[in-house]
Amino acid sequence: MLRSGRFTSAASTVIRSGEQASDGRDRVDIGFIGLGEMGVRIVPRLMAAGHHVTGWNRTKDKASGLIADGMGWADSPRAVAEQSEVVFAIVTDGKAVEGVALGDDGVIAGLKPGGIFIDMSTIAPEASLAISDTFEKAGLTMLDAPLSGSPPVVDAGNASVMVGGDRAAYDKVEPLLLAIGRKALYIGGRGQAVWMKVALNMCLVVEMVSFCESVALAEKGGVDRAIAVEAMLNSVVASPVMGYRGPFILDGKMPETPLADVTLQQKDMLLALDLGRKNGVPVPLGAAANEMLNACRGLGIDKRDFVTVHEVYRRLGGMLK
């Protein structure tokens, strides 16, 4: 629970005394860095819970709608941190996290004693640990807290957050995490949540590639594709991700803006394969699924949602010339 005075320094009291969020707790000054597909969905949820959010993004125009709705704006990650007690970031990769977190213009330079930096990006655990080490040496706290859920899942409030790092820090920010999604789960020490997220994303890709493979096999036997998808979604193998993503393989159902295109999803697969290689853990199903993503790239269909792998199976099975 966040309480007034818990996140203060001699120079500044960040929480405005007497002001409360919609859940009855004290309002928190939050910073948010990275206003892409996920950030633009998360920030409104934090503001709807009654918190004040100051944001930053490489391109300010992406934040125009949020600014119009009341989000503050700062000109650098450091400036965001100077105005916040808790700073979230969700950016593309480890290099991007390092860029916004470290250095003279990064979060680390502006975060006040007692403040918490929460990285929600999916990056290599070793990269997350290296950044976290720098925060720890500076006497500051960083949590790795990757988000699990596609944009529609976040919109519906059904995303979940996995958290690694200091348990006491997790307890402080848990109410904020529950404003973002329905579940916040403490995984363990620093780096363990992002490790878990990489493993989870590998399972997601393997599952959906297997789904595409199974539907293609049914099609080859003469089963109508729509019937095959319906049968899968009403069977014991059905899952939430299969439910909202499976229909994408039907004619005309592939979204113009992918939830995660082949390149983005393959980034996480390569993280998983690298973890397996470095730690002596065999991941043969992950490797096979990744090869199907490679095939999508070879066919030039990698800008679509990654379930376009179904097209690869149809081509290989002689159902699509």
Give me the amino acid identity at 183.
K
Domain boundary among 129, 161, 188: 188
Whether pLDDT at 66 is above 80:
yes
| Domain shared by 161 and 118, yes or no | yes
Q: Is 83 helix (H, G, I), strand (E, B) or coil?
A: coil
Identify whether the C-beta of residue 83 lies closer than 8 Å to the C-beta of residue 29.
Answer: yes
d(CA 149, CA 151): 7
Report the pLDDT averaged over residues 25-33.
Answer: 90
Nearest alpha carbon to residue 218 among 91, 67, 319, 75 = 319
Identify whether the C-beta of residue 242 lies closer than 8 Å to the C-beta of residue 211.
Answer: yes
pLDDT band at residue 23 using 50, 70 and 90 as cut-offs: low
CATH number at residue 164: 3.40.50.720
| Domain shared by 38 and 181, yes or no | yes
Note the pLDDT tens digit of each residue in 67-114: 999 999 999 999 999 999 999 999 999 999 999 999 999 999 999 999
DSSP single-letter state for residue 183: E
More confident residue, 220 or 16: 220
| Domain shared by 209 and 301, yes or no | yes
Report the pLDDT averaged over residues 225-247.
Answer: 97
| Domain shared by 94 and 141, yes or no | yes
Cα 33 to chain centroid, rounded: 13
Whether pLDDT at 15 is above 70:
no
| Domain shared by 204 and 184, yes or no | no
Report the pLDDT averaged over residues 25-53.
Answer: 94
Report the mean per-residue pLDDT for the chain: 92
Note the pLDDT tens digit of each residue in 203-217: 999 999 999 999 999
Measured CA to CA in angstroms, residue 309 lies from 220, 238, 262, 303 at distances of: 16, 18, 9, 11
Asked if residue 11 is part of any domain, the answer here is: no
Instruction: State residue 19's pLDDT score.
Output: 59
Whether pLDDT at 283 is above 80:
yes
Report the pLDDT averaged over residues 254-267.
Answer: 94
Strands 72-73 and 141-144: unpaired
Asked if residue 103 is part of any domain, the answer here is: yes
Asked if residue 63 is part of any domain, the answer here is: yes
DSSP string, 104-140: TTSHHHHPPTT-EEEE-----HHHHHHHHHHHHHTT-
Asked if residue 124 is part of any domain, the answer here is: yes
Instruction: State residue 3's pLDDT score.
Output: 35
Note the pLDDT tens digit of each residue in 139-163: 999 999 999 988 889 999 999 999 9
d(CA 157, CA 42): 9
Element (H, E) at 19: none
Report the pLDDT averaged over residues 51-80.
Answer: 97
| Domain shared by 33 and 162, yes or no | yes
Asked if residue 253 is part of any domain, the answer here is: yes
Asked if residue 18 is part of any domain, the answer here is: no
| Domain shared by 164 and 52, yes or no | yes
DSSP string, 205-250: HHHHHHHHHHHHHHHHTT--HHHHHHHHHTSTT--HHHHHHGGGGS
Domain boundary among 136, 166, 188: 188
% of the chain with per-residue pLDDT over 90: 89
| Domain shared by 54 and 177, yes or no | yes
What per-residue string of b and e applies to 85-112 under the rule 16 or more CB within 10 Å gives b? bbbbbbbeebebbbebbbeeebbbbbbb
Number of domains in the chain: 2
| Domain shared by 182 and 209, yes or no | no
| Domain shared by 131 and 272, yes or no | no
Asked if residue 119 is part of any domain, the answer here is: yes
Q: Which domain holds residue 238?
A: 196-316
Instruction: State residue 320's pLDDT score.
Output: 85
Domain boundary among 188, 211, 231: 188
Structure tokens at 311: 């097209």
CATH number at residue 310: 1.10.1040.10
| Domain shared by 87 and 226, yes or no | no
| Domain shared by 37 and 176, yes or no | yes
Q: Facing residues of 147 across strands?
A: 161
Structure tokens at 32: 């948010």
Asked if residue 262 is part of any domain, the answer here is: yes
| 122 CB-side CA count, 13 A | 22
